[in-house]
Chain A
Amino acid sequence: MTLWEYIASRSDMLAFQTLQHASMIAQCVLIATLIGVALGIAVYRNERATALATGTTSLIFTIPSLALLGLLVVPLGLGVWPSVTAITLYALLPILRNTIVGLTGVDSSLVDAARGIGMSRTRVLTRVQLPLAWPVILSGVRTATQLAMGIGAIAAFVSGPGLGDQIFSGLARVGAANALNATLVGVIGIVVLALIFDAVLVLVGKLTTSRGIRIHA
């Protein structure tokens, strides 16, 4: 059976798994972005809090995905929850770090100027700091998405959703007829999804970044 025949014979299931994978990653990254940016805003002004937050997230980041999944399975059981938790946790670090870097990287004279013309702290944050830090934050989101895609593949090991299932069913049947096809479909599907997501994020960046910043970038 060729790869095309394999895909054709299981197109419904593959389409479902692809969508499932995409939706899982999108949701996890969205949650991680909300948490990461909020956390970044909360800690970036305080050196200790920043050190604590980045220290903790990079500790999680250092733990290999298989180990983290294994640790999460014990309290959360098999299935969707450990996968979603692990992916969100991993996606957190690049987003948090870039939020902090982006916010502290905003020229302090601009913040000064904004305060000087009477903007409140919140307004300075929403009108000046966040828009200027946005490209940096977004590049963190891109990294996080790439990462989440790969880890999503391992999720199938703990019975999580998505295209990882193809890879693991390939693994289970190594030597059998469709083992290579299943693995290939899983891998290629994830790579293609990753590239599509990245392209979408680049587009989002173009649409949401002020033209005034892009001129220099």
Chain B
Amino acid sequence: MSTTVTAPRGQEKQQQEAPIGSRWRVLLTPLAVLLVGAATIGYTRFAELDSTEARSLSLGFLADKLWEHIGLTTISTVLVLAIALPLGVLVSRRWMRWSTPAVLGIANVGQATPPVGAIVLLAATVGIGFWPAIIALVVYSVLPALRNTMVGLQQVDAALIDAARGIGMPAWRVLAKIELPLAVPVILAGIRTTLVLNVGVAALAGFIGAGGLGEIVVAGVNTSRPVTLLVGSILIALLALLVDWIAGLVTKALQPKGL
């Protein structure tokens, strides 16, 4: 050993935690969501409501719709991931590379499709209700998720894959040990987007009687009740912000070290 070297000092600083100042800021979003949420619900308790408003703003009804909304979002997201992740991996294999432009092209057209159009089309062909809404949600958000998985895998430095193959890793190990872990940041960001997107699209499910907080908004517009409309809108917005916040935390926690 002729020259034992030590690591440059400057780089150690980067390892340290973020300054304390930004820690409480992490809690800002849930606090604000809780505060606005409580104020909104509180208002519906104390304000004078007519019978139409009272029906669609009762605590039990709100809780039901919230629960349905979460159900729509979670089930559709899980299905989307179950389809998009394996498919994205498959399409990114070397022997499937020819299909990349076609898949990306379809994904682009898919993104140009208005989500409300997708939902109504499903209702007009399959029928109304929960499961047609789920199908519409999955159809709508599977393409961006698929594209994210593909992009995530494609942006992995080709030199690293070459190095992995060069030291004798079989293809499956290159995928499991190198490509997927390195694609995790992009894939996770994609999942977060999918999740938030699905909260929004799930709101549109209210149009086809599939439940969810969207129904409150629809009821508000159809019955010309601004309070109902406002409460429904606020709750959807708060749910989206909360889901985004949780997904953000999970994304950070699952980030591979060293990147």
Q: Do A and B bind each other?
A: yes
CB within 8 Å of B: which residues of A?
59, 62-71, 73-74, 146, 149-154, 157-158, 164, 167-168, 170-171, 174, 179-180, 183-184, 186-187, 190-191, 194-195, 198
The secondary-structure label for the interface of chain B is: helix
A66 CA to B149 CA in the complex, in Å?
Answer: 28
Closest to B111 in A: A146
Which of B112, B204, B214 neighbours the largest number of chain A CB atoms within 10 Å of its CB?
Answer: B112
Closest to A59 in B: B241
Closest to A73 in B: B229
The secondary-structure label for the interface of chain A is: helix
Q: How many chain B residues have a CB neighbour from A under 8 Å?
A: 39
A174 CA to B119 CA in the complex, in Å?
Answer: 12
B114 A67 Cβ-Cβ under 8 A:
no
Is the C-beta of B200 less than 8 angstroms from some C-beta in chain A? Answer: yes
Is the C-beta of B102 less than 8 angstroms from some C-beta in chain A? Answer: no
B199 A64 Cβ-Cβ under 8 A:
yes
A190 B114 Cβ-Cβ under 8 A:
yes
Is the C-beta of B11 less than 8 angstroms from some C-beta in chain A? Answer: no
Given A64-B199, A64-B237, A174-B128; A150-B217 close (CB under 8 Å): no
Partner of A153, one of B116, B123, B206, B208: B116
Q: How far is the CB of B107 from chain A (nearest CB, A)?
A: 12
Partner of B240, one of A63, A69, A149: A63
A149 B236 Cβ-Cβ under 8 A:
no
Which of A68, A149, A171 neighbours the largest number of chain B CB atoms within 10 Å of its CB?
Answer: A171
A32 CA to B236 CA in the complex, in Å?
Answer: 24
What residues on A are CB-neighbors of B236 within 8 Å?
63-64, 66-67, 70
B214 A190 Cβ-Cβ under 8 A:
no
A170 CA to B200 CA in the complex, in Å?
Answer: 21
B114 A68 Cβ-Cβ under 8 A:
no
Which of B120, B214, B232 neighbours the largest number of chain A CB atoms within 10 Å of its CB?
Answer: B120
Partner of A191, one of B112, B128, B208: B112
A66 B128 Cβ-Cβ under 8 A:
no
Given A62-B241, A63-B240, A74-B226; A146-B124 close (CB under 8 Å): no
B233 A71 Cβ-Cβ under 8 A:
yes
Contacts A167-B117, A174-B120, A186-B114 supplied; 19 other A-B pairs, CB < 8 Å: A62-B244, A63-B237, A64-B236, A66-B217, A67-B203, A69-B233, A70-B221, A73-B221, A73-B226, A157-B116, A157-B207, A170-B120, A171-B207, A171-B208, A174-B208, A183-B120, A184-B121, A190-B113, A194-B112
